[in-house]
Amino acid sequence: MNLILLGPPGAGKGTQAQFICEEYGVPQISTGDMLRAAVAAETELGRRAKTCMDAGELVPDAVVVGIVAERLSQSDCAPGFILDGFPRTVAQADALANELAVAAKKIDAVISFRVDPDALVERLTGRRTCRLCGAGFHVNFSPPVHEGKCDRCGGELVQRADDREETIRRRLQVYDSQTSPLIDYYAKSGVLKVVDGMLPIDEVRSAVKEAIGSV
């Protein structure tokens, strides 16, 4: 099962990717997480990516296409994968299609999350992430049992550097101009499934499951 989760920042892609991973046993491939790991490790790639990420701009296509191609070639992706936050441009989508064609694979479904812009800002400003295991929370919508602590591993919950209001506004503009054309792109290839991302987390989870069930 090869899936793409498509939607604006804060739509719930990461939250739902974790559920799908647990349920279907296929790896979540989050380009945002991979780039943040490179930034934390202070690699050359991380240094280049950091400037773009801090500004709310996209990292160049060639960079992300390279890291995704390498990740998809690893053996745990053989039974399937969930792409979370990739592709984000038409050029990335074309590059992905070429990579998959060479490997005789294809995308089975693209789950597109529809969420109102105001809700996105609220979600992103309240988002907290575990420093140790990456689990996601929200101060109001998905609060941890103990404030500031991860339910899963007890790690410290932190706010992402780019989840500040000015950067959020820019990321939403970038989504509209560069990523939203992918909705039509995948609708044309017949794999698009639209899910109402405004519903509570558990209801979105059911809707996603239903969408996957029909693949």
| Residues engaged in binding ligand ADP (CB under 6 A) | 7, 9-15, 31-32, 35, 52-53, 56-59, 64, 85-86, 88, 92, 123, 126-127, 136-138, 141-142, 162, 171, 197, 199-201, 204
Q: Which range, of 96-104, 143-151, 168-176, 189-197, touches Zn ion by CB under 5 A?
A: 143-151
Please give the angle made by the CA atoms of 112, 184 and 21, to the nearest 5 degrees.
25
> Cα 119 to the chain's mean position, in Å?
17
Q: Which residue out of 88, 123, 128, 193 is catalytically annotated?
A: 88
Stretch that binds Zn ion, among 27-35, 122-130, 159-167, 182-190 (CB under 5 A): 122-130
Query: Any contact of residue 80 with Zn ion (CB under 5 A)?
Result: no
**164 among known catalytic residues:** no
Asked whether the beta carbons of 18 and 124 are under 8 A apart, the reply is no
Distances (CA, A) of 38 to 44, 156, 188: 8, 20, 34
Distance CA 103, CA 65 (A): 15
Nearest to 181 by CA among 112, 83, 90, 97: 90
Catalytic entry in 13, 71, 123, 128: 13
Give least dist CB 150 to ligand ADP, A: 13
Q: What is residue 142's DSSP assignment?
A: B
Residues that bind Zn ion (CB under 5 A): 130, 132-133, 135, 150, 152-153, 155
